[in-house]
Structure formats: structure tokens, C-alpha cells
Amino acid sequence: MSLGVVRFFRCLTNNQNLPENSDHCPSLPQKEVESPPPLLSQLSPTSLAYLGDAVYELYIRCYYLWPPRKISHYHSLVVEKVRAEYQAQQLLTIYPLLNEKEKEWVKRGRNAVNRSPRGSLPLKVYQAASAFETLLGYLYLCDQNRLHYILSQLELK
């Protein structure tokens, strides 16, 4: 995992610029938008998975942004990595690193799925992918430093 990608993603998710001498992060607006922190008890695992899906896709897009490529090449690289089968594999990669609270959210995310929306995927694969996304959504809201660490441990080629 390239340190530049982690720094770039951290910059995007925290809405903070890197030091002026860094060319890894574009100049982002400094105005912060205030929003009340959601109460986790009011969010379903499915809602967290929805958020986690967006966080993961943004991270993957940032990961493949360098070196510059044609948009069609970016697209094919990203689509391969955001598929449910790949997310399920990533969950297995990071699971040993998780603490008990994170494992609880993984379990809640997995149990929230009781049928596969696409008939071609086994239910267990879709459950694992949803659990992975739920974890990322939870970490995005509650502990972005931990989110960045977990993302840096993913096996991306």
C-alpha cells in the first residue's frame, strides 16, 4: 500500500490539506460542513453498509488514480475490486486485526442480509461483503484513524 494513497484518502475523508510541499493531495476547501453526529443506535447495519460502500469505492478509486490512465482502465480496475466476492475476501484479510466492537459490527452487518439480491452470488458471499461495508461505515463515523489503518491493511494489487 502506497503511503501516498493513504495520505490522499485521509485528506479527502478528513477534509484537510496535506502540507504545502506535498503534491499528493489537491487543494480542498477548508470550509467544514457541520452535521450532527448520528446516533449509531438509530442507524441500521444496512445504512452503515450503504455508507461503507461509498467509502470503500472512493478509497479504491484513489488507490488506482496513479499512474494516470484512461477512464475505461480506471473503471475496469475499480469494478473488479468493489465486487462482493472481492469485498468478502478483504473481510477475511482484516478480520484478525479487528477488536471485539468491530467484530460485533461485522456480525450485525452479516446478519442484516437474509437473501442475496443477485441470484448468482451465494448468500454467504453477499453477507460477508455487507459485513465488510458495515464495518467501514461504522469506522468512518466513529474512528477515521482506525478506518485508515484497516484500509491500509487491505490486499490490493
Q: How confident is the model at residue 35 (pLDDT cuts 50, 70, 90)?
A: low
> Which alpha helices (DSSP H) does 23-142 contain, by range?
45-63, 71-81, 84-94, 100-111, 123-142
**Which domain, by its residues, includes 141?**
44-152
pLDDT at 126 over 70: yes
- The 3-class SS string of 72-92 reads HHHHHHHHHHCCHHHHHHHHH
Each residue's pLDDT tens digit, 80-90: 999 999 999 99
* Domain annotation covers residue 110: yes
| Set 52, 53, 86, 113: catalytic member | 53
For the chain, how many structural domains are there in total? Answer: 1
* Domain annotation covers residue 7: no
> According to the model, what pLDDT value does residue 99 have?
97
* Domain annotation covers residue 17: no
What CATH number has the domain bearing residue 138? 1.10.1520.10
pLDDT at 38 over 90: no
* Domain annotation covers residue 135: yes
Q: How confident is the model at residue 12 (pLDDT cuts 50, 70, 90)?
A: low
pLDDT at 97 over 80: yes
* Domain annotation covers residue 37: no
Identify the DSSP state of 15.
Answer: T
* Domain annotation covers residue 29: no
* Domain annotation covers residue 147: yes
Could you give the CA distance from residue 72 to residue 118 in angstroms, rounded to a whole number?
Answer: 25
Active site residue 143: no
* Domain annotation covers residue 3: no
